[in-house]
Structure 1
Amino acid sequence: MSPPPSSSSPSPTAPSGDQLPGEPAPVVPSAGPSRTLYVDSGTAIVRRRSGRVVVERPDGDDREECMSVPAVDIERVVLVGQVHCTSAAQRFFLEQGIDTIFLSWNGRLKGRLDSSSSPRSELRLAQYRAHDATGERVLLARAFIRAKLSNMQTMLRRYARRRSAPALSESADTVSDLKRRAAHAEDLDGLRGMEGQATRVYYEAWPLFINRSDPMFSFSERTRRPPEDAVNALLSFGYTLLLGDMQVACATVGLDPSLGFLHTLRRGCPSCALDLVEAFRPTVADSVVLRLLNECRIAPDDVKSRDEGVFLTRSGREAFYAAYEERRQTTVTPPGFGSPIAYHRAFEAQARMLARSLTSGADYVPFTIR
């Protein structure tokens, strides 16, 4: 079990510049710190007790209280595996607007409790219209891919300088060229093809990112469902946590998380959340994985083979939660913002940016770093 962090993030500011009459409203994400409670023990029971969230575990015929946190200190709860959350606790989370995310033991997103009772009808209608308008859909998909490729390119150039590795600079140049070509793609299939090429080039460079001699943490290619090695297990787990965050951001703003523009419409697929996740894969999830590896914060015992794949053990997941929360609290200045905000607020800011674009016709400004 991991308690919510006590650190806070600076209050966000709207994009710089005075708003002129008739201009879309500035994008301002919610202020304040994000506090996440992770419960990752198959025998744990999550209860409500007065105004507190209590985590217990069986102790013979009794129960041992292993954590008690004031509800006001929690914004999000992540329940992993077979954790039991009482119906009273679930009702309490819904009443208090505490987002609750359910993950499987192997890091698959199973679902979430959504307390949103009145989605913005005008936003949903605008989202549906944009999805059905081929030109607008391609325009948005280009922006999502441009941001992803731009941030992959930045990661490659950063590591090229750190490692003095010309091969990484060459990979960055290839991704840059594909980014320019993607900006002129006329259809989604062509755009997805260029994104796939750039992603392959990026992952082919990953062995040069990892400063770890242990063969347990070698990497050759991206594999998933199931991940075939330790590095892929870390990547998959990071992308799952990131997707959960983005689904919450979409719901907070009023977007339909399932109706995207780049990703296809499939039953149970949060396509819109996946669209917004693309820009944050390199800067958040990949950054966390590389920190865990290169700072030796993950050990061989933190992963294990199971069900024809490789997955994190509980100790590995706990190490990941800590590093992921550190990254969520790290500040960054999104394009158009006058001062830094925490990454977890940047997720919501991008969802708001998309909502503003859909309802007002303003250009969608994707999230990029330098």
Structure 2
Amino acid sequence: MVTLFVDRKGLTLRADSSALAFYDGNERMGTVPLKLLERVCIRGDLQLSASVLGKLGEHGAGVVVLSGRKRQPVLLMPNLKVDAQRRMAQFNLAQNADFCLRQAKGWVGGKVASQAALLERFSTKSDVLRARLHQPCSVLADVAGEIGAAADTARLRGLEGAAAARYFAALAYVLPDSLNFNGRNRRPPADAFNAVLSLGYTLLHFELVRQVYLTGLDPFVGFYSGLK
């Protein structure tokens, strides 16, 4: 199963039997079997009909549209199963502040641990990187130690934000100067690395929402507002 990324302007997408066909004017440019597609990511202006969306939905493929100057993602999900009992349990747990905080601590703790592990791996590449990344690694370790004591999600979001700021600042030491990366920015991203990050986060978000639907849960009812 694959992601189809379409960024050529002026194309027309048509449903052709069991395939997605691409036309430039009246010229057929190529086809992709619908059974192979898990998601279609569209960037730029093109034409497609409701029948195309219907065919994609029938085959369980969703659509991600990156629209406008800021490339704000719009998700169109296929018709997936809904489990009423699971959603009732989800809604009840979403009202339990203690449960939500425990879940959120686990997610944020895992995220910060992964960030620290990646920086530690980079620090072994050279003595220069070891020196430059020593302080960021120490900061992430301190943040990780404070997560368990966070009294509420507001404090947890503050810790998550502090870790992210230090993590992305440290990545500037690792990446080539030619990428002009000086930290995380978006809407729109100001450099190539941030553009790749934004696209990657968009596709990851789409997949997470899709999996939530597949398990019969509601992606609009969460346990930790602001998790990224």
Length-normalised TM-score, structure 1: 0.57
**Structure-2 change in CA distance of 1:221 and 1:98 (3 Å):** closer
Q: CA RMSD in A?
A: 1.9
* CA drift at 1:133: 0.7
Q: Name the SS for the 1:262 alignment partner.
A: coil
Matched, 1:53 2:13: no
1:149 maps to what in 2? 112
* CA drift at 1:136: 0.5
1:201 maps to what in 2? 166
Identity fraction in percent: 26
1:218 maps to what in 2? 180
1:249 maps to what in 2? 211
**Which amino acid in 1 is paired with 2:202?**
T
- Distance, in Å, in 1 between the alignment partners of 2:140 and 2:152 is 19
1:115 maps to what in 2? 79
Matched, 1:91 2:59: no
* CA drift at 1:236: 2.1
Matched, 1:238 2:216: no
**Which amino acid in 1 is paired with 2:190?**
E
Deviation digits for residues 178-223 of structure 1, max 9, x if unmatched?
112102212111111111111111112122110x232xx2222322
* CA drift at 1:227: 2.9
1:67 maps to what in 2? 30
Length-normalised TM-score, structure 2: 0.90
* CA drift at 1:235: 2.3
**Structure-2 change in CA distance of 1:175 and 1:257 (3 Å):** same
**Which amino acid in 2 is paired with 1:240?**
T
* Runs of 5+ unmatched residues, structure 2: none
- Distance, in Å, in 2 between the alignment partners of 1:231 and 1:256 is 32
Matched, 1:39 2:3: no
**Structure-2 change in CA distance of 1:231 and 1:35 (3 Å):** closer
Q: Name the SS for the 1:162 alignment partner.
A: coil
Contact 1:224–1:232 under 8 Å retained in 2: yes
* Runs of 5+ unmatched residues, structure 1: 1-33, 265-274, 279-370
- Distance, in Å, in 2 between the alignment partners of 1:148 and 1:76 is 25
- Distance, in Å, in 1 between the alignment partners of 2:45 and 2:160 is 37
Contact 1:107–1:237 under 8 Å retained in 2: no
Alignment: residue pair count: 225
Aligned ranges 1:1-370 → 2 under 5 Å: 34-58=1-25, 63-104=26-67, 106-116=70-80, 118-164=81-127, 165=129, 166-210=131-175, 212-214=176-178, 217-263=179-225, 275=227, 278=228
* CA drift at 1:108: 2.1
* CA drift at 1:123: 1.5
* CA drift at 1:47: 1.0
Q: Name the SS for the 1:235 alignment partner.
A: helix
**Which amino acid in 1 is paired with 2:201?**
Y
**Which amino acid in 1 is paired with 2:21?**
V
- Distance, in Å, in 2 between the alignment partners of 1:194 and 1:160 is 23
